[in-house]
Amino acid sequence: MSMIMEYVRLRPHELAELRRLLAEEPDNAYEYAGDLGMGDEDEAVSSRGIDTDKAWAGLQWLLAEVDPPVDVIGGGEPMTDDKWGYDPPRLLTAADVAQAARFLAATPFASLAVHYAAAEMTAADVYPGVWSQDWALSYLEESYGQLVTLFCAAAADHEPIVVWMA
């Protein structure tokens, strides 16, 4: 089973509907959030949601080295109890998103890349265990760029972000 981290910007009415679904129809909540992440019909590329594929743990490793003010990988408040099992969806508030966006925008990937250590990441069993591959650093850079873009756009619109493992 692969573990992919999903992120979706939420408008106020969408957050209310997601909360309702989590309480009343939890099986439909993931589908609803996933559909929101696909964006508006007139967008060629969604600005509403991303997934970091399997790069999330590598990004978490690198970000931990620069001490971000908000944990954009594992942070946020759980939106539900144990109905979701090991990883319930988590909400990063609009204030969290704004703080994270300022940090991410001011932190170029190069400042993370200096902490990249394939052997250490492999020895620490950082998921997904591809760190010795020649493409692994660029894989992390691409996902980081998507995170920066999403968080900056959400901050500009004063939107929270819901995060979950798919």
pTM for the whole structure: 0.92
Predicted confidence at residue 85, as pLDDT, reads 55
Contact 139, 129 (CB under 8 A): no
Instruction: Compute the distance between CA of residue 109 and CA of residue 47 in angstroms, rounded to an integer.
Output: 20
CA distances to 7, 8, 17, 60, 73 from 153, rounded to whole Å, are 13, 11, 21, 21, 17
Predicted confidence at residue 82, as pLDDT, reads 61
Instruction: Compute the distance between CA of residue 159 and CA of residue 154 in angstroms, rounded to an integer.
Output: 5
More confident residue, 39 or 155: 155
50-81, pLDDT tens digit by residue?
A: 999 999 999 999 999 999 999 999 999 999 87
Q: Other CB atoms closer than 10 Å to residue 116's CB: what's the count?
A: 18
Label residue 1 by pLDDT band (50, 70, 90). low
CA 1 to chain centre: 19
Mean pLDDT of 93-116: 98
Whether residue 9 has pLDDT greater than 80? yes
111-141, pLDDT tens digit by residue?
A: 999 999 999 999 999 999 999 999 999 999 9
Whether residue 7 has pLDDT greater than 90? yes
Predicted confidence at residue 80, as pLDDT, reads 87
Whether residue 13 has pLDDT greater than 80? yes
96 three-class SS? helix
Whether residue 30 has pLDDT greater than 90? no
Instruction: Compute the distance between CA of residue 9 and CA of residue 157 in angstroms, rounded to an integer.
Output: 9
Tokens of 152: 């900056």
Whether residue 99 has pLDDT greater than 70? yes
